[in-house]
Structure 1
Amino acid sequence: MEANLQLPPILFWDIDPSKLDYDAKARFIIGRVVMYGSLADWTAILAYYGPDRVRDEMLQERYLDKKTLNYLSFYFEVPKTEFRCYTLQQSIPQHWNY
């Protein structure tokens, strides 16, 4: 099943992409693709994992940048407040918030 998912190795610059388990590390892989991947990578993970699994994994992700969070909230029609990263972001006070 892994042969169906072809992602650029540059997305996984800090690990050996050949040793990556696509099912066990789904949240890690999906997170990298949504924050750093291309539109083709996005459609590839949607086809491989399915929209429900992508949504469920991203709801539990600890960190997403603001653009990615807004996009996923809009795409899946889920309020930002339901994402774990949004809740964690609000509970950590900013030191210098200009």
Structure 2
Amino acid sequence: MRKLPYFLEKYFWDVDFPGIDKKTYSAFIIERILEFGDKKSIRWMMNSFNLDEIKEVIIASRILSKKSANFWQIIFKIERDNILCFRKPSLQKQKMIWKY
């Protein structure tokens, strides 16, 4: 089990911090740091995960705020149309088929 550095504990307030495995929960860790991280945590993330893995999390995440996703999209030069959190939700109100 690859444990996380203690200074990252503040980003994982809602989970059992000692139980977070870096390899198993990499997408979760990257999302949290992208959303809430400071310079030190971002530097750690960049050294701990490869660039393609970080970009994939940005593209696939629906949890990132639009503000954070926009920032990282510019930093990593990712096509905006590829990022899921910018897409409109697929849940649209359906027309009534049968009126009682």
1:24 maps to 2:20: no
**Number of the residue aligned with 2:69:** 69
Distance 2:84 2:24 in 1: 20
Q: What secondary structure sits across from 1:2 in the alignment?
A: coil
Aligned residues of 2:66 and 2:86 also touching (Cα < 8 A): no
Structure 1 residue 92 displacement after superposition: 5.3
How many residue pairs get aligned? The number is 91
Q: How does 1:80-95 map to 2 (within 5 A)?
A: 80-87=80-87, 90-91=88-89
Q: Contact between 1:69 and 1:80, CA under 8 Å: does it hold in 2?
A: no
2:94 maps to what in 1? none
Check the 8 A contact 1:27/1:58 in 2, yes or no.
no
Cα RMSD, aligned residues only: 2.1
CA drift at 1:81: 1.4
**Unmatched 5+ residue regions in structure 1?**
94-98
Match runs of 1:30-69 below 5 Å: 30-69=30-69
- 1:2 Cα deviation from its structure 2 partner: 3.0
Give distance in 2, aligned partners of 1:39 and 1:17.
20
Which has the larger displacement, 16-25 or 57-66? 57-66
SS of the residue corresponding to residue 35 of structure 1 reads helix
Paired residues of 2:30 and 2:54 also in contact (CA < 8 A):
yes
SS in 2 for 1:91: coil
Q: Structure 2 length normalisation: TM-score?
A: 0.79
Residue in 2 aligned with 1:11? 11
